[in-house]
């Protein structure tokens, strides 16, 4: 696990300034506190920070081919490196280490750009081939590891995080207003956009080729190309358990202590069960880590504890304190661009707890997007049924009635569920399907909130276009699989995995996700939707696969999600911070929003008449981010 950076000059006669490269490298120290490395050749510089996991002593980067023609830096882990290494050695390649990353430079030398299709792992990589003066950058299939890039007047730059680009004075800070609209709609910015014009994210499963000023971006893998097969329940469940078991076994490779995040839900519990089984073969134990809340409706520690006791793990747990004002400032700084998924707080804290004991953890990320875990899929199914029976005008009237009912302080509950269902039903375009319940700011509210200038700059944009394109990109009539593909491509890649990467890396902890092993992803998309959502039972085949292993409480309880009592905290402990960041003076100074609309939203939330937590937290994040990265530039 590392952070990588690079500079390719437009004019190769212009040398790379080593201090500039070193400043970029140093900005990523949190991603790799153990080691650093760089190489500078004519007009090109590559650098990295390293968190030593495999071949701790001998795995220093950059790696170079035997003839010195290709240099490589990479972030992540290659889980099939032993098989690739053996094949490459038999083809005559010579290795200087036992690092998993070294196989990449030799694999490129052997198979050129097609080597990416052979690699199983999570990674962001960059290699310079001086023979044809070409830079190749690539990201793993799911997007577990990040990569940003930009062009300046004199160079092409890339880095694992935006902060490494920000150290350069020639990188601009102009806000992309369409990206800002995306953030306020979804609470994150979708690749290839970033919040800033001219800086881009390389999408998952893509590689970038840059040569003499010409750049192309191509996809090398796509889940929507997987052919659906005919499965019966028993064979499907067996395949899930065996394939996920192999993925867990591969991802437990480590020369340093490891553990697992455990929420008590089926995804993380299945991972822990398989880890315990694998560890038992070597007479080893498993470390597990959980985070909870004092608010009972948000606290899931009892379920995690039951799973830990079932498998005899070394279990540690903590409580998220509502006094998170100082943590808010710290984490917004780590995120680099606006991001408003409130589960970033417990993710950081559980990572911090785990890092005190281990360097690597496995997580259950990806299970929901592969096997149908979200309630949005059921909501869309219900909405389709209602549309056939109830006139749209009647639904709008019902939505207006539910909107005036005060929200409950509980995490979900019947009132909150009904209010959320009805708002998604009438506020979002029908063709967004389940994504109607994954947006947080309707067109009507934007017309009130956005300043005239902001609205004018969005005149020709369509914030829903990425969702529509994903939903329409699969050649299948399997509605659920289209929705799962969309969540894998957008929500998982640009929300969940961003959160996990930044928050774990902020504590110098490596996270791995066995569900995102390529074999598991391809297996999941080879299965029809009815194996994942059957009636009202979500993750049907995954539960079937572990029904004889996991406690019944894990298999039968509804999904809760890793959220926090933010709506309650904004009325109490976090209210002063909200008032400070969203004062009318601050809102007016930015010029993006109507101060009176923001003030009314704050007042209505404090009074308990409305739950405006999503909007208010997004605005708080945006203001704090602007103070850090725009005002402080």
Residues facing 150 on adjacent strands = 157, 199
Collapse the DSSP code of 355 into the 3-class scheme (helix H, G, I; strand E, B; otherwise coil) and give the result: helix
Give whole-number Cα distances, 298 to 204, 374, 561, in Å. 32, 17, 9
Segment 581-590, tens digit of pLDDT: 999 999 999 9
Rounded CA separation 290/482 (Å): 32
Between 613 and 283, name the one with better pLDDT: 613
Match 């039951």 to its residue by tokens: 306
User: Given this model, what pLDDT does residue 412 score?
Assistant: 63
Q: How many CB atoms lie within 10 A of CB 208?
A: 21
**Could you give the residue numbers annotated as active site?**
2
Q: For the segment 108-156, what is each residue's pLDDT rounded down to a tens digit?
A: 999 999 999 999 999 999 999 999 999 999 999 999 999 999 999 999 9
What integer is the mean pLDDT of 415-419?
73
Which of 387 and 267 is assigned the larger pLDDT? Answer: 267
Set out the domains of the chain in order of their start, with CATH numbers: 2-221 (3.60.20.10), 225-369+492-556 (3.40.50.620), 565-633 (no CATH)
Which of 367, 408, 417 lies closest to 520 in space, CA to CA?
A: 367
SS3 of 513, please?
coil
Mention every residue, 6+ apart, whose C-beta is less than 8 A from residue 417: none
The residues near 588 (Cβ < 8 Å, ≥ 6 apart) are 595
Q: Mean pLDDT lowest for which of 250-254, 345-349, 422-426, 465-469?
A: 422-426
Query: pLDDT grade, residue 33 (50/70/90)?
Result: confident
Q: Once rounded to an integer, what is the mean pLDDT over residues 257-284?
A: 92
């Amino acid at each position: 696990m590392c952070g990588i950076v690079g500079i390719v000059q437009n004019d190769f006669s212009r040398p790379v300034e080593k201090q500039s490269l070193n400043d970029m490298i140093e900005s990523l120290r949190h991603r790799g506190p153990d080691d650093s490395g760089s190489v500078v050749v004519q007009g090109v510089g590559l650098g990295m920070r390293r968190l030593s996991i495999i071949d701790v002593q001998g795995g220093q980067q950059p790696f170079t081919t035997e003839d010195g023609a290709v240099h490589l830096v990479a972030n992540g882990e290659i889980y099939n490196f032993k098989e690739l290494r053996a094949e490459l050695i038999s083809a005559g390649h010579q290795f200087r280490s036992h690092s998993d990353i070294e196989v990449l430079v030799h694999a490129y030398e052997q198979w050129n750009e097609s080597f990416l299709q052979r690699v199983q792992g999570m990674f962001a990589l960059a290699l310079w081939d001086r023979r044809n003066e070409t830079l190749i950058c690539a990201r793993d299939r799911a997007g577990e590891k990040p990569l940003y890039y930009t062009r300046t007047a004199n160079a092409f730059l890339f880095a694992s995080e935006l902060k490494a680009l920000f150290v350069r004075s020639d990188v601009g800070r102009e806000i992309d207003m369409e990206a800002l609209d995306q953030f306020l709609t979804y609470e994150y910015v979708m690749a290839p956009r970033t919040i800033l014009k001219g800086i881009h994210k390389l999408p998952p499963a893509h590689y970038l080729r840059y040569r003499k000023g010409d750049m192309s971006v191509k996809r090398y893998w796509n889940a929507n190309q997987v052919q659906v097969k005919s499965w019966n329940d028993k064979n499907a469940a067996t395949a899930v358990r065996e394939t996920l078991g192999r993925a867990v076994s591969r991802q437990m490779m480590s020369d340093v202590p490891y553990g697992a995040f455990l929420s008590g839900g089926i995804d993380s519990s299945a991972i822990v069960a398989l880890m315990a089984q694998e560890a038992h073969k070597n007479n080893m134990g498993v470390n597990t880590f959980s985070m909870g809340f004092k608010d009972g409706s948000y606290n899931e520690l009892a379920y995690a504890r039951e799973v830990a006791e079932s498998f005899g793990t070394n279990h540690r747990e903590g409580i998220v304190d509502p006094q998170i004002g100082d943590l808010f400032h710290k984490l917004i700084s780590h995120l680099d661009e606006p991001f408003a998924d409130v589960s970033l707080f417990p993710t950081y804290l559980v990572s911090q707890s785990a890092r005190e004991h281990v360097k690597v953890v496995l997580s259950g990320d990806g299970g929901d997007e592969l096997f149908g875990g979200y309630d949005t899929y059921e909501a869309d199914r219900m909405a389709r049924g209602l549309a056939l029976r109830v006139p749209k005008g009647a639904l709008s009237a019902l939505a207006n009635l539910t909107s005036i009912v005060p929200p409950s302080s509980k995490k979900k509950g019947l009132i909150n569920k009904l209010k959320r269902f009805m708002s998604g039903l009438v506020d979002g375009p029908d063709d967004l399907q389940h994504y109607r319940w994954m947006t947080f700011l309707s067109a009507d509210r934007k017309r009130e909130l956005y300043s005239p200038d902001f609205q004018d700059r969005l005149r020709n944009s369509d914030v829903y276009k990425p969702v529509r394109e994903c939903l329409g990109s699969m050649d299948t009539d399997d509605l659920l699989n289209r929705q799962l593909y969309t969540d894998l491509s957008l929500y998982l890649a640009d929300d969940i995995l961003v959160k996990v990467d930044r928050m774990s890396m902020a504590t110098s902890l490596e996270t791995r996700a066995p569900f995102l092993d390529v074999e598991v992803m391809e297996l999941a998309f080879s299965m029809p939707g009815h194996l994942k959502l059957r009636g009202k039972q979500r993750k049907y085949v995954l539960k079937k696969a572990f029904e004889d292993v996991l406690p019944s409480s894990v298999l039968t309880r509804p999904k809760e999600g890793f959220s926090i009592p933010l709506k309650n905290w904004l009325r109490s402990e976090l209210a002063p911070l909200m008032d400070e960041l969203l004062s009318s003076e601050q809102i007016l100074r930015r010029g993006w929003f109507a101060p009176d609309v923001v003030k009314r939203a704050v007042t209505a939330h404090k009074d308990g008449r409305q739950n405006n937590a999503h909007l208010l937290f997004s605005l708080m994040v945006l203001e704090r981010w602007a103070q850090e990265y725009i005002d402080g530039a």
